[in-house]
Amino acid sequence: MSDTSENVTRPNADPVEDLIALYALNALDADDRARVEHRLATDARARALLDEMRTAVDQLNASAGEVEPPPYIKRRLMAKVDADLAARGAPAREVSVWERLTRMLFPITAALAAASILIAIGLGVWAASLQRQLTQAQQELALLQSPGLRVVSLPIADNAPTAARITFLAAPDEATGLLTVSGLTPLAPNQTYQFWLLRSGQPVAAGTFSVDANGAGKLIVRAADRIGAFDQAGVTIEPAGGSEMPTLSALVAIGSIQ
Amino acid sequence: MLDESTKHRSSSGEISDAELAARIAHSDRDAFERLYDRYAAKAFGLAIRLVGDRAAAEDVVQEAFWRVWRAAKSYDPNRASLSAWVLAIVHHCAVDELRRRRGRGAAVELDAPEREAQLLPDPSADTQDQVWTRVQSEQVQAALAGLPEAQRSVIEMAYFGGYTRQEIAQKLNEPLGTIHTRARLGLIKLKALLAGLNV
């Protein structure tokens, strides 16, 4: 089926124009891509050639079919857009009561978004740290906007501090949740708190966390399945780095999340 | 090329693609949200077909729409419909993901049977070399099948596999110039075949 004319390199081929079909297919590395884009910026003929090549690629793209994405993608994206607008000082839009409430709960989002501008003026490590906090705040905000969000306080084990409070927030249809803790004892460096989700009594590791000097901490939980697929959750103290299965030598809390 | 942009014109009061694009270029959050609602399912469908699993496709779609938000000013409605522009960005992000995987050593093989089984609606399909059957449209499948094998291989490796021209040349053991020519002729022929099928 091979056409022999395909095996002959065109002797007078323009080396950049020759790359345009592969540019349309996204088959160029960064250097080649930059060469082509430089040409496209100044050469209408190259742009026309690209448009011709793109016709078939566009049809391939459009023929994949439609699949509805999960709603949390949109929430995360719009939270990121809101942070971007805040960082650029855009005028505030009208927001719902719920959004106002969540913003009151997380004022750090706007502050950190504004602070993230500092990244652009080169305050490296500090700004990068702020950006990480901003991302976490955005994730928390998106979680708290999940439809069907449930808030569960886990019963504290007998040998844990009586002031301890452990709360798990998650929507049953989502795979992510937020764990917040207070009143826990800060651990030695060779230990960590570990969160577990249990399905029919079988624990699945769901992340490790530490607490600050006041005993407070939080963890964004990313489960392998929807949270509603699990019936219980618990917290244990494990060796630093976490365990594959709970040692149960130091149970902090366990209870139903249904 | 601009036919898609006419599909959302305002006979029913809906904002046209052109107006949406113009508003997003001025950082209009609500316009961007409408754009997402309009094209997210297409974008996610494409991303799943390209990267093969929902979790990675979610990241691809989120990154692609973020790039749309950031690059809206660069969109030229005279050169592509908004739908085509958005999906081109999704393809770009999916290719980035495929290359990252290869960089991590998790090779993405074009004919990985388990991946195909997850993707293809027809489990009896020959999954070893018909990568293009990921395309849902029978007409587009027919057009791809109508390409000379050498040209189809290059398009498959580039479009579905995310390989660079150098990687394709190495894998096919052909000179770079031959790969360039096959890609160019293949896309021209594919366009003609699709036009012949009224796609």
Question: Does residue A227 form part of some domain?
Answer: yes
Question: Does residue A5 form part of some domain?
Answer: no
Closest CA to A47 of A63, A60, A36: A36
Structural element, H or E, at residue A176: strand A176-182
Contact map slice: A 72-111 vs B, CB within 8 A: 73-74, 76-78, 80-82, 84-85, 88, 90, 93
Respond yes or no on whether ipTM tops 0.90: no
A132/B contact by beta carbon, under 8 A? no
Closest CA to B7 of A206, A101, A247, A62: A62
Tell me the C-alpha distance between B120 and A64, whole Å.
Answer: 11
| Number of helical (H) and strand (E) elements in chain A, helices listed first | 8, 8
Distance from CA of B12 to the nearest CA of A (A): 23
Domain match, B119 and B186 both: yes
Q: Retrieve residue B60's tokens.
A: 């691809």
Say how many CB pairs under 8 Å bridge A and B: 191
Residue B2 pLDDT grade (very low, low, confident, very high; cuts 50, 70, 90): very low
Whose tokens are 């030695």? That residue is A188
Kindly tell me if the per-residue pLDDT of B68 is higher than 80.
yes
Tell me the C-alpha distance between A217 and A258, whole Å.
Answer: 23
Q: List the single residue in B with minimal CA-CA distance to A18.
A: B180
Closest CA to B191 of B39, B7, B1: B1
Domain match, B129 and B193 both: yes
Q: Retrieve residue A98's tokens.
A: 């719920």
- Residue where a domain terminates, one of A144, A162, A187: A144
Q: Measuring CA to CA, how many Å separate B133 from each of A167, B146, B195?
A: 48, 13, 19
Domain match, B35 and B120 both: no
Structural element, H or E, at residue A251: strand A251-256
B140/A contact by beta carbon, under 8 A? yes
Q: Tell me which of A197 and B109 has the higher pLDDT.
A: A197
Residues of B in contact with A58 (CB under 8 A): 1, 80-81, 84, 87-88
Domain match, B87 and B7 both: yes
The maximal CA–CA distance of chain B, rounded, in angstroms, is: 55
B145/A contact by beta carbon, under 8 A? no
Tell me the C-alpha distance between B104 and B91, whole Å.
Answer: 20
CA A209 to chain centre: 18
Domain match, A171 and A213 both: yes
Residue B176 pLDDT grade (very low, low, confident, very high; cuts 50, 70, 90): very high
Nearest to A6 among B41, B49, B150 (CB): B150
B101/A contact by beta carbon, under 8 A? no
Domain match, A162 and A201 both: yes
Structural element, H or E, at residue A110: helix A108-115
Number of domains in chain A: 3
Question: Does residue A2 form part of some domain?
Answer: no
Mean confidence (pLDDT) of chain B: 81
CATH number for the domain spanning B2: value is 1.10.1740.10
The maximal CA–CA distance of chain A, rounded, in angstroms, is: 83
Domain match, A52 and A76 both: no
- Residue where a domain terminates, one of B74, B108, B142: B108
Total residues belonging to chain A: 258
Domain match, B104 and B119 both: no
Of A134-138, B6-10, B187-191, the one with minimum mean pLDDT is: B6-10
CATH number for the domain spanning A235: value is 2.60.40.200
Question: Does residue A1 form part of some domain?
Answer: no
Residues of chain A with pLDDT under 70: 1-13, 90-132, 136, 248-249
Number of domains in chain B: 2
To test the contact with chain A by mutation, choose from B39, B59, B165, B168 the residue with the greatest count of A C-beta atoms within 10 A, namely B165
Q: What is the mean pLDDT of residues B14-40?
A: 93
A175/B contact by beta carbon, under 8 A? no
Nearest to B184 among A21, A47, A93 (CB): A21
Q: What is the pLDDT of residues B142-151, one digit of tens each?
A: 888 899 999 9
B161/A contact by beta carbon, under 8 A? no
B196/A contact by beta carbon, under 8 A? no
Nearest to B62 among A10, A65, A76 (CB): A76
Structural element, H or E, at residue B138: helix B138-145
Domain match, A47 and A97 both: no
CA A205 to chain centre: 19
Whose tokens are 């095996």? That residue is A7
Q: Retrieve residue B85's tokens.
A: 């522009």
Domain match, A206 and A187 both: yes
pLDDT at B147: 94
Domain match, B89 and B119 both: no
Q: What is the mean pLDDT of residues B7-17?
A: 64
Kindly tell me if the per-residue pLDDT of B82 is higher than 80.
yes
Domain match, A86 and A122 both: yes
To test the contact with chain B by mutation, choose from A59, A80, A135 the residue with the greatest count of B C-beta atoms within 10 A, namely A59
A8/B contact by beta carbon, under 8 A? yes
B71/A contact by beta carbon, under 8 A? no
Q: List the single residue in A with minimal CA-CA distance to B64.
A: A77
Question: Does residue A4 form part of some domain?
Answer: no
Residue B161 pLDDT grade (very low, low, confident, very high; cuts 50, 70, 90): very high
Asked if residue A246 lies in contact with residue A190, where contact means CB atoms within 8 angstroms, the answer is no
Domain match, A131 and A166 both: no
B85/A contact by beta carbon, under 8 A? no
- Backbone dihedral angles phi then psi of residue A96, each to the nearest 5 degrees: -75, 165
Closest CA to B77 of B129, B173, B145, B9: B9
Question: Does residue A3 form part of some domain?
Answer: no
Domain match, A43 and A136 both: no
pLDDT at B173: 95
Distance from CA of A142 to the nearest CA of B (A): 14
- Residue where a domain terminates, one of B73, B108, B143: B108
For B32, the domain range is: 1-108
- List of residues 6+ apart from A43 with CB closer than 8 A: none
pLDDT at A86: 86
Q: Which ranges of B10-81 does DSSP label H, i.e. alpha helix?
A: 17-25, 29-51, 54-71
B170/A contact by beta carbon, under 8 A? no
Kindly tell me if the per-residue pLDDT of B107 is higher than 50.
no
For A90, the domain range is: 71-144
Domain match, A35 and A83 both: no
Q: What is the pLDDT of residues A201-250, one digit of tens each?
A: 888 889 899 888 888 888 888 887 888 889 899 999 988 888 888 876 68
Structural element, H or E, at residue A153: strand A150-153
pLDDT at A102: 56
pLDDT at A128: 61
CATH number for the domain spanning B156: value is 1.10.10.10
Torsion A220-A222-A227-A230 (CA) sign: negative
